Amino acid sequence: MTIAPEATNEAAAQATQAAEQQQRDGQEGPAFILYMGGSEYDDALHRLALWVRHLLLPVYGREVTSAAPWCTSWWKHPEAVAQLYGLWMAWHELTGPDAPATGPATWHRDHLGHVMNSLRDPSGPFAGCKAGTHRAKEAPGMDPYPG
């Protein structure tokens, strides 16, 4: 399988541009997506979706089974968005032009497997989703805090 370099380069270029804009805006580093709202969130999710579609899934997406579910509408699962965004942030830090030569190996060892295993776990965020069908996960309840 061949990944179109222009697709990967486009996703990486957009992410780099966003990070540079955040630095110009005085932010220390890229903001985590769960702290974003409105158009900032929409832009970040769009960049993440490009990376998932053009790099993550073609290279690392394994076959969908009941033991390894995947939701084609993953962006509707906040847990998946948070985990994939963290994976994407690590990707840029560890594979970018200023990354050490061992960066890609570190990304594979420390980030990729854990996130993909967590997302694709039969009891993970996609547990209720079937091929081509999204089902929202019900979050556990919580009694009112007594304090």
- DSSP one-letter string for 18-73: HHHHHHHTT-SSPPPGGG--HHHHHHHHHHHHHHIIIIIHHHH-PPPBTTB---TT
Measured in degrees and rounded to the nearest 5, phi and psi for residue 120 equal: -95, 5
Cα–Cα distances in Å, from 56 out to 3, 49, 77, 92, 116? 10, 10, 17, 13, 10
Max mean pLDDT range (3-12, 15-24, 28-37, 66-75): 66-75
Choose among 22, 39, 43, 42: nearest CA to 31.
22
More confident: 26 or 43: 43
To the nearest whole percent, how much of the chain has pLDDT over 90?
Answer: 63
Answer yes or no: are the C-beta atoms of 32 and 88 closer than 8 Å.
no
- Residues 52-83: pLDDT tens digits? 999 999 999 999 888 999 999 999 999 999 99
Answer yes or no: are the C-beta atoms of 48 and 56 closer than 8 Å.
no
Joined tokens for residue 2: 């061949």
Lowest mean pLDDT among 86-90, 107-111, 138-142: 138-142
Cα–Cα distances in Å, from 15 out to 12, 44, 88, 96? 5, 8, 9, 10
